A and B are shown apart, each in its own frame.
Chain A
Amino acid sequence: MNRRTRLILAAALGAALLVGGTGVALAFQADASAQLRSSGQAGEQADGYLGLVGSASADIRAQVDAVNIKRRAYYTDLAAKRGAKIEEVAATTACELFRTKVGPGQYYRLPDGVWRQRDSAPIPLPGYCG
């Protein structure tokens, strides 16, 4: 393989990686979790992760998994910074999401494990939410 061929190959590899990276970035939408909540196929859980309401499509499942993996990374990071448990950061986040992000008609799941649909009233928060 001469020098020029190597150069061409390196350029092609760089371009391909760039295209692939952009695709990944675009696949994760800026309002992914809001869209999942309003789809009615996913809801907020008291453990700080999105959950599937009923039998969701493979596409929704993949999106929920993608969001939850990112959440887990953020929880882990913040827990390490504040000397807290990952589960504690996650549960605190759930309190805040119940308070501010779950809209009327959207689904949520408290520690009792039952999926409920929020009506016009605020979600009755667990005692530890403060």
Chain B
Amino acid sequence: MKPAILTRVRRDATRGVMRTASGLIVVLLGSLSAGCVQVSAPEKPIEINLNINIRQEVVVRLQQDVKNLIENNPGVF
């Protein structure tokens, strides 16, 4: 019987497949953890400053834009 062509010509055929498979796993794990990092808490919390310093005319000027902003982004507001 003739030896199979892979075994005869490419003695490292199986090892090559294994390398590809382990490479795939590394890439998959890497990109999955990269996806998770995006939803984790920020390193520094946003500082809360409740000393509001704003004039009413500024509020009036921004009011319509702000209403649109809230309406267009229901998950965030």
Interface residues of chain A, those whose CB is within 8 Å of chain B, are: 5, 8-9, 12-13, 16-17, 19-21, 23-24, 27-34, 45-47, 49, 51, 61-62, 65-72, 74, 78, 81-82, 84, 87-89, 91-93, 95-97, 100-101, 109-113, 126-130
Contacts and interface: CB of A to CB of B under 8 A. Distances in A.
28 contacts: A8-B24, A16-B28, A19-B32, A19-B35, A33-B76, A34-B74, A47-B50, A47-B52, A62-B39, A62-B41, A69-B42, A70-B75, A71-B77, A74-B69, A88-B58, A88-B59, A91-B59, A92-B59, A92-B62, A92-B63, A92-B66, A95-B59, A96-B67, A101-B70, A128-B56, A128-B59, A129-B59, A130-B56
Interface of B: 16, 20, 23-24, 27-28, 31-32, 34-36, 38-42, 45-46, 48-56, 58-63, 65-67, 69-70, 73-77
Q: Which of B23, B52, B73 has the most CB of A within 10 A?
A: B52
